[in-house]
A and B are shown apart, each in its own frame.
Chain A
Amino acid sequence: MKLVWSWLSEHVDLTGVTPEHVAERLTVAGLEVDKVERIGDWWDRERLVVGNVLRVLSHPDAERLVLADVDWGAGAPHRVVTGAPNLLAFRDAGDFDKPMKVVFAREGVELYDGHAEGWVKVKLKGRPVRGVMSDAMVCSEKEIGLSEDHDGILILDDDAPVGAPIADVLGDAVLTLELTANYAHASNVVGIAREVAALLDRPFTPPEWRLDDADAVVDASLPAAATWCRVVIDDDEACPRYSARIVTGVDATRPSPAWLQRRLRLSGMRPINAVVDATNYAMLLWGEPLHAFDYDRLKARAVAASGVGASTGDATAASAGAGVVPTITVRRSTPGERMTTLDGIDRALDAGTILITDDAGPIAIAGVMGGAETEVTDATRTILLEAATFHFPSIRRASRDLKLPSESSWRFSRDVPPALIDPGSAVGSRLLAEHAGGRVAPGIVDVHPRPRPAVEVVMPLSEIDRLLGAEIPVADIEAILARLGFTAVVDGDTLAAVVPPHRVDIELPADIVEEIVRVWGLDRLPSVPLADALPAQRENRTQWLEEATRDACVGAGLQEIVSYRMTSVVHEGETVVAGIAGIADDVGAGGDVVDVGDVGGVGHEVGAGGLPAEARYVGIANAISPERSVMRQSMLTGLLDAAAANLRFTDRVALFEVGSTYHWPAGTSPSPSTLPDEPRHVALLLAGPQRADDWRGGEARPMDFYDAKGAVEAVLGALGIDTLHFAPGRHASLHPGRTAVVSAVDADGTPRALGYVGELHPQVRRRWDLPERSIAVADLDLEAIDALAGAIRPIAAFSPYPPVERDLAVLVDEAIPAADVEAAVRAAGGKLLVGVRLFDVYRGPQVGEGRKSLALRLRFQSMDKTLEGASVDRVREQIVRALGKAVGGEVRG
């Protein structure tokens, strides 16, 4: 909403206050002023004045130029050379018989160059133009910076005083307000004037708005409005009040007077003609959007519909169908109804759209746009002027569904109170009469089936202190409410306030409290710390786990990322190896090959083998693009995107992300009342050298499965989960031989799958354009981790006696997992064996094809004495024998 300062000043005394001050007051009181623009604050008061063109003469030497004699209030008229087309027409036509007021600029003044691209300021210098001295000029709008218009000179109102500084005539300020949805009452000059008057505590002067039949613009000889048309409201919720006035004899080709055009332009609306401008001006002044129908078209349609006489489509139809009167019916649309709006588009209407119709069908989408057939044209002579109010949520929906936002629908969607119909209709009709040459028919057709009862809020005075924590004197309360137009009565401890009809946002005591405090001064509220007892604090395990997981990942040397939660089915599909459907068939068949999506029943977000389940995607109905059309089911996509982006300029990434994935629960489908699961995950990705390059040399080895596994162990260990099991597994995105299911045993001894760790399948790696080296990833389900994390364990005792170490090189078949060897060692080691560490794996000619040598360092320690070599060697012998039995291990050395 743009507010013109000079217009505002007609309704509230602004003497001694600046636009900036008013902007500040409005902003603090809830009407945020985004900016204050000064119009013409740079204009030279001496050299830029009102001039009156007395006559226009031929230029002796130039066909496209004329000489204009301009009286500028200083003795003899000044002769200027101009090529302005709107003066050329008066060449040698003698002295004007009425004023022709212009912007007169004298030598030395700064102006914008009218011919330059953009805005270039130049100083006006005297120079001869085709032999005639030119040291002054008459200006276009562009030259004084009002608009881009340089097609002709600016013509001022006839009553502009000759010689007065232009700054006093056209200088102004425009305030741009960002109005919140509750301040519909301030979407107009009158509304803001009321607010400003209340804030400055100055009187508010409403504009004259009554229009009775004795008024000069009403032609008593015309038939009353009610004989021209009928109005029927079919649905009084859709339309609580509808009024129509008739203005006849208008000339829609006339322009509005300069002052009115100027106000419209400064208010951000383009002047069109006296008819359109009249409706817009009334709307800007009062906030009541008006619609003008071509009455003769309505009449012709009515005649045609009634079958009386042939419609010729023009005014003669009126006589042809004498006695036929158009009936305006307001109703909601029926299914499948269509209409052609004035922009020429044939539109399908949602059932329930509020329509203005006549005997032949829809003539306007209420509050949104008129119909093509009944719109005002240059030929229009008689206007039916609609002023109405509609069910505002319906208007908002229609304007959004049809994508037809306008000044009018903006106001109607915020509720136009029925009380505004009277001033809106009256002011619009008067302007049509005064500027478009019309005469107003007596009376108004005003159907008001559902009057809005006045709202009265009755509340204890103490409510104000209870909500604010500040005592405001009763006298201030009464004065503030009165200034805002409320009728407020304080009786003992009770405040009764009748809400003025133009306010649609006040219903409850809390609303009254806001009205009081915003004028009294929100900034006068004391700053008081909370004094209520602190509510009982509650355990918040989800939050703890999420943050502890982040800390653990940071401790493991990983960088946190945060990805878009929206992705696409196609993009997530790119994490899956082509033809992966086959994997699901393997599941379970191999015995020890475990499908990641199936372990312990916790992988509830992944389908077979980690394949995202298409039916379980949470889709976005109104996505910004196909790339962001579903909520993610996998954490992998975001990590791979980040890795791909970063590996273009660095060779090492170590990333993690903690966040939700989104899935419709199995067996459900989207519905208006179903909510998806949002399980939280932590996922990580490692690629590149294990550490950054070092000047001391020694190339770091590339990170692989075991680095990711180590990171998983570190993270889960930090969360208190350290009895982990890694079993070979399959995952739709991962290398089939380098994938493990991570699980841990819970307090009941039940193994629970927590997620997976593995290296990216080469095919996926290539599809993501990642470097040809191992990309190790892991994904763990925080809901599963939650069941195990943070358990409090008693500490284990440790021995004061020195340990004894023995190394063991165990030769086993390649197929024997290292974990089995270690388990056999531990089982046989008894309580003296306190540590087993695998420190080398050797394959080669010395151990033979299909075999490997695992080097283990065993640590023995007693809780109650220093161990002797002999007793340690006995245990070692037990272990060696057990290895032979359990894993076919052969110990060398």
Chain B
Amino acid sequence: MGSEPIATIARIEMLRREAEVALDAAKGDAALTAWKGEWLGKGGRITSLLRSVGALDAADRPAFGAAVNAASRTLEAAYEAAASSRQADAMASALAAEAIDVTLPGTPPPRGRLHPSTIILRRMLDIFAEMGFQVFLSREVELDDVNFTLLNHPPHHPARDMQDTFYIAGTNEQVLLRTHTSPGQIRAMGAYAPDPIRIVLPGMVYRNEKITPRSEIQFTQVEGLAVGPHITMANLRGTIDGFVHRYYGPNRRTRFRTSYFPFTEPSAEVDVSCGLCDGAGCRLCKDAGWLEILGCGMVHPNVLANGGYDPAVVSGFAFGLGPMRAQMMAHGIDDIRHYWGNDVRFLEQFG
């Protein structure tokens, strides 16, 4: 019996179309699997066409085989596309079901913080560190000699009136709580002489004052000291300006005013232009246009000599500032008693 290859090939085409229609109709994983079995599985309706190849003329066989394979590949691809689309749909609906309210509160990890006085000290010390000033720590209970006399405040000198002092019992007023970080200058010179010095002295100091919103019996200070063969007051100004531009901002100006500290000569107080009004005068600067930030000067020759340096050859500068006061101004802290009150509602607002 003769075959009709064309009609046979047409039948392959017809079956392919029928399979495609069935694939379109197959919804869900089970239907897809069933479809695959029916059409492309072993003995599936397309696959099994190849079994009838024997009935064809030898000359027609290759064309028939190729047509079956082509239909099989086409359906295979259509199945893959349908299956992956089905997976994407399933993933999408699963994800939709897992959606959450992202505006609900986050779960905080236990959070530690530094005390504001530590934060401000570190910020200042970091700036000075980059300028080459190393931290030098010094004791808090001091000899009168080191806190005053060697810093050119002789006993009963009126300069001592500037600092109300806590004295240690049983020492005949010869041991005291340091009233400033300056005794660290004497300690540092003792440790460094005759080498040059570039240090900052941070720490707690004590004054016998009433505790009020404006004054405390203990507060922190940062003091700087540079000693060497060619140090000038212009260098002092350069250093202060460098600090001011880093800490307060590059556009702030400084004003040096002559002042008096027994351990420096010449001495100056430094004002920085008010950040709120830029010098025009406002409530923050009490119409002065300037905010007083630190005291400084060239190390007094007597102090250099007391520290083991020859004041004719070596010079130096020193400066001292109150980090808490700077921080109070920056944050609008109107009561210094918050610092040692340790109310976490205050502390948690920093860092």
Q: If the complex has contacts A526-B237, A530-B132, A530-B238, are A414 and B158 also in contact, measured as CB distance less than 8 A?
A: yes
In chain B between 293 and 351, which residues have their CB closer than 8 angstroms to a CB of chain A? 298, 300-301, 315, 339-345, 347-348
Query: B278: CB under 8 A from chain A?
Result: no
Find A396's partner among B115, B143, B156, B237 (CB 8 Å cutoff): B156
Residues of B within 8 A of A508 (CB): 265, 301
Q: Is the CB of A518 within 8 A of B266?
A: yes
Q: Is the CB of A467 within 8 A of B195?
A: no
A650 to B348, CA, bound (A): 13
Find A393's partner among B113, B156, B211 (CB 8 Å cutoff): B156
In chain B between 66 and 114, which residues have their CB closer than 8 angstroms to a CB of chain A? 104-105, 107-114
Q: Is the CB of B229 within 8 A of A674?
A: no
Q: Is the CB of B142 within 8 A of A675?
A: yes
Q: If the complex has contacts A514-B266, A532-B196, are A675 and B228 also in contact, measured as CB distance less than 8 A?
A: no
A466 to B158, CA, bound (A): 30
Residues of A within 8 A of B233 (CB): 467-470, 517, 525
Query: B239: CB under 8 A from chain A?
Result: yes
Interface flags for A312-347 (1: CB within 8 Å of B; 0: not) read 000000000000000000000000000000000000
Q: Is the CB of A620 within 8 A of B168?
A: yes
Residues of B within 8 A of A557 (CB): 109-112
Q: Is the CB of A561 within 8 A of B342?
A: yes
Query: B123: CB under 8 A from chain A?
Result: no
Q: Is the CB of B256 within 8 A of A621?
A: no
A518 to B171, CA, bound (A): 40
Q: Is the CB of B173 within 8 A of A621?
A: yes
Q: Is the CB of B342 within 8 A of A527?
A: no
Query: A554: CB under 8 A from chain B?
Result: yes
Interface flags for B123-141 (1: CB within 8 Å of A; 0: not) read 0000000011011110111
Query: A379: CB under 8 A from chain B?
Result: no
A-binding segment of B9-17, B26-34, B39-47, B159-167:
B159-167
A386 to B104, CA, bound (A): 84
A533 to B195, CA, bound (A): 11
Q: If the complex has contacts A392-B158, A536-B195, A559-B347, are A553 and B265 also in contact, measured as CB distance less than 8 A?
A: no
Q: If the complex has contacts A559-B347, A621-B167, A646-B343, are A394 and B156 also in contact, measured as CB distance less than 8 A?
A: yes
Find A510's partner among B118, B255, B301 (CB 8 Å cutoff): B301
Residues of A within 8 A of B239 (CB): 529-530
Q: Which interface residue of A396, A465, A562 has the most chain B CB atoms within 10 A?
A: A562
B contact patch SS: mixed
Q: Is the CB of A182 within 8 A of B260?
A: yes
Find A467's partner among B229, B232, B257 (CB 8 Å cutoff): B232
Q: Is the CB of B217 within 8 A of A621?
A: no
Nearest Cβ on chain A to B184's Cβ, whole angstroms: 13
Q: Is the CB of A670 within 8 A of B169?
A: yes
Q: Is the CB of A534 within 8 A of B256?
A: no
Query: A537: CB under 8 A from chain B?
Result: yes
A508 to B265, CA, bound (A): 9
Find B228's partner among A180, A510, A532, A538 (CB 8 Å cutoff): A532
Q: Is the CB of A511 within 8 A of B134?
A: no
Residues of A within 8 A of B208 (CB): 622, 624
Q: Is the CB of A393 within 8 A of B257?
A: no
Residues of B within 8 A of A871 (CB): none
Q: Is the CB of A623 within 8 A of B158?
A: no
In chain B between 169 and 190, which residues have their CB closer than 8 angstroms to a CB of chain A? 169-175, 177
Nearest Cβ on chain A to B28's Cβ, whole angstroms: 36
Query: B223: CB under 8 A from chain A?
Result: no
Q: Is the CB of A180 within 8 A of B259?
A: yes
Query: B155: CB under 8 A from chain A?
Result: yes
Query: B8: CB under 8 A from chain A?
Result: no
A28 to B256, CA, bound (A): 7
Q: Is the CB of B258 within 8 A of A393?
A: no
Find A30's partner among B114, B159, B259 (CB 8 Å cutoff): B259
A631 to B197, CA, bound (A): 32
Nearest Cβ on chain B to A702's Cβ, whole angstroms: 14
A776 to B162, CA, bound (A): 44
Nearest Cβ on chain B to A737's Cβ, whole angstroms: 27
Query: B284: CB under 8 A from chain A?
Result: no
Q: Which interface residue of A413, A522, A641, A645 has the most chain B CB atoms within 10 A?
A: A522
Cross-chain pair count, CB within 8 angstroms: 271
B-binding segment of A76-84, A204-212, A563-571:
A563-571
Q: Is the CB of B171 within 8 A of A564?
A: no
Q: Is the CB of B268 within 8 A of A522?
A: yes
Query: B157: CB under 8 A from chain A?
Result: yes
Find B137's partner among A536, A542, A672 (CB 8 Å cutoff): A542
Residues of A within 8 A of B154 (CB): 393
Q: Is the CB of B340 within 8 A of A564?
A: yes
Find B257's partner among A32, A396, A618 (CB 8 Å cutoff): A32
Q: Is the CB of B234 within 8 A of A559?
A: no
Residues of B within 8 A of A650 (CB): 344
A662 to B110, CA, bound (A): 32
A653 to B104, CA, bound (A): 25
Find B170's partner among A392, A469, A540, A670 (CB 8 Å cutoff): A670
Q: Is the CB of B235 within 8 A of A556?
A: no
A671 to B265, CA, bound (A): 33
Closest to B242 in A: A529
Query: A550: CB under 8 A from chain B?
Result: yes
Q: Is the CB of B255 within 8 A of A28?
A: yes
Q: Is the CB of B241 within 8 A of A618?
A: no
Closest to B156 in A: A393
In chain B between 204 and 262, which residues have their CB closer than 8 angstroms to a CB of chain A? 204, 206, 208-211, 217-218, 226, 228-235, 237-239, 241-242, 255-260, 262
Q: Is the CB of A469 within 8 A of B257?
A: no
Query: A270: CB under 8 A from chain B?
Result: no
Q: Is the CB of B265 within 8 A of A662?
A: no
Q: Is the CB of B260 within 8 A of A30?
A: yes
Closest to B104 in A: A695
Closest to B109 in A: A557
Interface flags for A658-698 (1: CB within 8 Å of B; 0: not) read 01101000000111111110100000000000011011100
Q: Which interface residue of A468, A638, A691 has the most chain B CB atoms within 10 A?
A: A468
Closest to B115 in A: A560
Q: If the complex has contacts A558-B112, A624-B217, are A671 and B255 also in contact, measured as CB distance less than 8 A?
A: no
Q: Is the CB of B258 within 8 A of A670?
A: no
Q: Is the CB of A560 within 8 A of B141?
A: no
Residues of A within 8 A of B122 (CB): 547
A526 to B236, CA, bound (A): 10
Q: If the complex has contacts A469-B233, A525-B256, are A561 and B301 also in contact, measured as CB distance less than 8 A?
A: no
Query: B267: CB under 8 A from chain A?
Result: yes
Chosen A-B contacts, 30 in total, with CB atoms closer than 8 Å, are A29-B257, A181-B157, A181-B162, A181-B260, A393-B157, A466-B232, A466-B315, A468-B266, A514-B258, A517-B266, A522-B266, A530-B131, A530-B226, A532-B196, A540-B136, A543-B137, A560-B118, A562-B342, A564-B218, A564-B340, A565-B206, A619-B170, A620-B167, A620-B168, A624-B209, A653-B344, A662-B141, A669-B170, A674-B175, A675-B142
> Which residues of chain B have a CB within 8 Å of any CB of chain A?
104-105, 107-115, 117-118, 122, 131-132, 134-137, 139-143, 154-159, 161-162, 165-175, 177, 192, 195-198, 204, 206, 208-211, 217-218, 226, 228-235, 237-239, 241-242, 255-260, 262, 265-269, 298, 300-301, 315, 339-345, 347-348
Which 3 A-B pairs have CB atoms at the shortest separation, nearest pair first?
A469-B232, A469-B234, A670-B170
> Which residues of chain A have a CB within 8 Å of any CB of chain B?
27-30, 32, 180-183, 392-394, 396-397, 413-414, 465-470, 508-511, 513-514, 517-518, 522-523, 525-538, 540, 542-543, 547, 550, 553-566, 618-624, 628, 631, 638, 641-642, 645-646, 649-650, 653-656, 659-660, 662, 669-676, 678, 691-692, 694-696
